[in-house]
Structure 1
């Protein structure tokens, strides 16, 4: 069972992710938040409590772009993955450079689900 931390500002998207993870199986959502500050605090207070962090880039406050690096600092074995509507080639390269294990546009859901299944 892989523990998943979700950073997403859209409640409907959080619910969709939870449903997708339940359908794939082998995942437990251990936390979620909608702002950069909340995400950083949760990561600092829960090092090692997550295996995969699903990160959106556009948040209610702040940005998810630097959260991959922050996540890796708090839990080097964890796998931050960006799942955002703004995953252009340049943003994708920048996120990977900052420590994301993978980057997916939200319209790449099948590839995202394949990655999750391979990393649980």
Structure 2
């Protein structure tokens, strides 16, 4: 499963990338630090990803822009939010913008990793 990680905090992006890449069947194909960088990459690589993991509040832009860029994607391509701002309002806005799931950076990393493993299995099964 190919992952695009959208995270502007380098102190968090590197360990997050390493955690994701350590999962069986997961490859982080690109890391983007801004909404524009992520959207440009998505436009240039429409079939080059299976999962976008996006922070909501970026130094340049926000994750909602990235979620909207993913609209109209095939069913096996997913977009999830990983944010420190995980109140119910943020979760609702993310769902409306097209997020398939929402995970808190502070206490839901295990749930994100479990989601990734499950999706990696679905992607692998679909590619057989």
- Distance in 2 (alpha carbons) for counterparts of 1:65 and 1:22: 24
Q: SS state of the match for residue 4, structure 2?
A: strand
Task: Please give the TM-score of this superposition, normalised by the length of structure 1.
Answer: 0.91
For structure 1, which segment, 50-59 or 24-33, has the greater mean C-alpha deviation from structure 2 after superposition?
A: 24-33
Residues 21, 28 of structure 2: 8 Å contact kept: no
Gaps of 5+ in 2: 121-128
Q: Which residue of 1 aligns with 2:9?
A: 10
Could you tell me how far apart the structure 2 residues matched to 1:109 and 1:26 are? 18
Q: State whether structure 2 residue 69 is matched by structure 1 residue 70.
A: yes
Task: Quote the offset at 1:15 in angstroms.
Answer: 1.2
Q: CA deviation at 1:24?
A: 2.1
Match of 1:15, SS state, is helix
Q: Which is greater in Rg?
A: 2
Coordinate RMSD, CA, aligned:
1.3
C-alpha separation between the residues in 1 aligned to 2:65 and 2:71? Answer: 10
Note if contact 1:6-1:53 (Cα within 8 Å) is conserved in structure 2: yes
C-alpha displacement at 1:76, in angstroms?
Answer: 3.1
Shift of 1:63: 0.8
1:18 and 1:67 map into 2 onto residues whose CA distance is 18
Q: TM-score, normalised by structure 2?
A: 0.85
Matched residue of 1:58: which SS?
A: coil
Distance 1:33 1:67 in 2: 11
Match of 1:65, SS?
A: helix
Report the CA distance between 1:3 and its aligned residue: 0.2
How many corresponding residue pairs? 118
Q: Is the 8 A contact 1:72 1:80 kept in 2?
A: no
Q: What does 1:89-104 align with in structure 2 at a 5 Å threshold? A: 89-104=88-103
